[in-house]
């Protein structure tokens, strides 16, 4: 019995398989073209980003709201420099952007400036109404929200 021949055949096949795999893996196009093709396949596989999601407000909507509140909220002097002082106000809007009910402060703070800040925040919301610039198509998102009045965040490092 000669097993020699079968070993040679297996050895021969083993030497050709890596060579064939290597030959197939060699690029047929320039590397830049291969990278671009791969990127195009990855982009095509990604789901499209929906920028008009009815369940969220866009960044421009939020910026418009913050800008409007910054214009209407007259921050008292003592509140401007109070670190870590913020007032959370629950607001319910009507579809036209007007206030559906009076805003309510939903947090508290022992700081003596808090009561003044809370009153000024509610006054600012009432002064700003109606918020008719909010998108009617996304009314379900903004009809019932909480607004955090924080002079450092609304006006940056330098409150007005």
What per-residue confidence (pLDDT) applies to 151? 65
Model confidence pLDDT, tens digit, residues 108-142: 999 888 999 999 999 999 999 999 999 988 899 99
What per-residue confidence (pLDDT) applies to 111? 86
Residue 126 forms part of a structural domain? yes
Residue 18 forms part of a structural domain? no
Write the DSSP assignment of 64-90 as a string of letters. Answer: HHHHHHHHH----HHHHT-TT--EEEE
Model confidence pLDDT, tens digit, residues 35-87: 777 767 777 776 555 455 566 778 888 888 888 988 888 888 777 777 678 89
CATH (domain of 145): 3.30.1150.10
User: What is the CA angle 110-113-114, rounded to 5?
Assistant: 55
Model confidence pLDDT, tens digit, residues 5-16: 344 444 444 444
Residue 4 forms part of a structural domain? no
Residue 21 forms part of a structural domain? no
Residue 42 forms part of a structural domain? no
Residue 39 forms part of a structural domain? no
Residue 51 forms part of a structural domain? no
Q: How far apart are CA 81 and CA 149, in angstroms?
A: 14
Tell me whether residue 80 is exposed, middle or buried, using C-beta atoms within 10 angstroms of its C-beta: 0 to 12, 13 to 18, 19 or more. middle
Number of domains in the chain: 1
Top-confidence range, 17-21, 43-47, 83-87, 153-157: 83-87
Q: Quote the domain boundaries for residue 116.
A: 59-152
For the segment 146-152, the average pLDDT, to the nearest whole number, is: 81
Residue 140 forms part of a structural domain? yes
What per-residue confidence (pLDDT) applies to 47? 57
């Amino acid at each position: 019995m000669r097993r020699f021949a079968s070993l040679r055949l297996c050895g021969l096949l083993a030497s050709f398989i890596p060579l064939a795999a290597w030959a197939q893996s060699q690029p047929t196009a320039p590397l830049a073209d291969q990278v671009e093709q791969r990127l195009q396949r990855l982009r095509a596989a990604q789901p499209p980003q929906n920028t008009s999601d009815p369940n969220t407000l866009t960044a421009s909507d939020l910026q418009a709201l913050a800008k409007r509140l910054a214009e209407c909220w007259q921050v008292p002097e003592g509140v401007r420099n109070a670190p870590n002082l913020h007032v959370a106000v629950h607001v319910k809007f009507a579809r036209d952007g007007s206030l559906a009910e009076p805003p309510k402060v939903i947090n508290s703070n022992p700081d003596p400036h808090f009561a003044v800040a809370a009153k000024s925040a509610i006054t600012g919301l009432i002064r700003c109404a109606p918020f008719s610039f909010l998108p009617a198509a996304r009314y379900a998102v903004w009809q019932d929200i909480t607004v955090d009045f924080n002079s450092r965040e609304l006006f940056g490092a330098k409150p007005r």
